[in-house]
Structure 1
Amino acid sequence: MNLADLIAHYGLAALFVGSGLEGETVVVFGGLMAHRGFFGFGPAVLAAAAGSFIADQIFFALGRRYRDTRLVRRIRERPGFRRALRTFERYPNLFIFGFRFVYGLRTVSPVAIGTTDVSAWRFVAVNAVAACTWAATFVSLGYLFSRSIEAVMGRLGPVEHWAIGAVGVALLLVLLIRFARRRRAGPLSGMEKD
């Protein structure tokens, strides 16, 4: 069962969960399914926004709850983390609003923001607006470009599916090897150049 089948079978519940766990790809497919008539455009936006909002609130709460632990204190000393916090301190609302639109920052940013002194209510307010904007943007992309997405997916034969899978596995292996090397080299290796 592929991603489109999951959303088609489980509907808005899959879109809700997927938007919080996976992100843009699920939400774009949610827009495609809305275009096909599986559910309405408005409910798709609401499900995606709610899933994203709730996931980010959970990550923020985890950052807030565990910010004084030894592990988090050690991570906060890394140059990259400190630089991100300096950016947050200069543009807190913009950072809270924009992190979900930057690939690779979606999960770690609400945790990092939770370690700061920003009020929980401020995070809730900006996060709600950002989640709605993000959901509307990516559901709209899936909805508006549904025919193009379906055409590309339909042209992919079994060989292309295997090739895409092989590239994904190779990428995962490279990332695992890099992670293992960094762990062996020490907690701050790779961050020194930041």
Structure 2
Amino acid sequence: MDTILTIIKDYGWLSYLILFAYCALKSGSLPLFAGIAAQLGALNIFVVATLVFLGGYLGDELRFYIGRKYGVQNLSSRPWYQRSVSAAKRLLAHYGKAYIFLYRYPKGMRTIGALPVALTNMTWTTFTLLNFTSALLWTFAMVGGGYMFGSAIERLVGEHWGVFSVCLLLVFIFVSYIALKQVNKKVAKATDELI
């Protein structure tokens, strides 16, 4: 946390710009640490929450736009395109709303999260409403969690980082394994139905 506080002190208002850009590009722990920094008085909580929300929301809107505008054209010449889009449509028809709410959390998922949604027939209005709500919940969870529980998180991470990181890794691997198994079942079923 000291490193983040030093960066905030060194870069001043640019810290807010970095936070916005980070949240537009990916999801990770920076919004949580920004919430902790706000609790410590280094950042303004309202500015942090606004920028985290706008970065998360607008980043996914841009990815959806890119996927909708260029994805279909670029992928239509690929032989696997029809099967992939059909499978994605079936998965999103079944899990669509949950997918939009969950892809923000696992590391690496958000970078591409909205692209497959754009390749389906989900309307932009539906995506925007779900994306707005998802970004708002993500902001409350990350920034609010950091702000409300910052001291406890900092103590836990500081005193038991090794154990904490291993536990987080194991939980993530377990949840990812279960989720991947379920998704693979649905993809196999959707693909079998297409053939």
Q: TM-score, normalised by structure 1?
A: 0.67
**Cα pair 2:65 2:118 within 8 Å, conserved:** yes
Question: In the alignment, what sits opposite 2:22?
Answer: 18
Distance in 2 between the 1:135 and 1:124 partners?
Answer: 16
For residue 130 of structure 1, what is the aligned residue in structure 2? 134
More helix by share: 2
CA distance in 1, matches of 2:109, 2:97: 15
Which residue, 62, 67, 70 being the options, matches 1:63? 67
- Greater than 3 Å deviation, 4+ residue runs: 1-8, 70-79, 81-85, 148-156
Which residue is equivalent to 1:27? 31
Q: Distance in 2 between matches of 1:73 and 1:57?
A: 25
For structure 2, the residue ranges without an aligned partner over 5 or more in a row are 166-187
CA distance in 2, matches of 1:72, 1:32: 46
Match of 1:117 among 111, 116, 121: 121
Aligned residue in 2 for 1:91: 95
Give the conservation status (yes or no) of the 8 Å contact 1:7–1:30: no
> What amino acid sits opposite 2:99 in the alignment?
F
Structure 1 unaligned regions, length at least 5:
165-191
The alignment's C-alpha RMSD in Å is 3.3
Pick the aligned partner of 1:38 from 29, 37, 42: 42
- Distance in 1 (CA, whole Å) between partners of 2:113 and 2:90 is 13
Q: Is the 8 A contact 2:26 2:108 kept in 1?
A: no
Instruction: Indicate if the aligned counterparts of 1:67 and 1:73 stay in contact, CA closer than 8 A.
Output: no
2:143 maps to 139
Preserved CA contact (<8 Å) 2:5 2:42: no
Deviates more, 1:35-44 or 1:135-144: 35-44
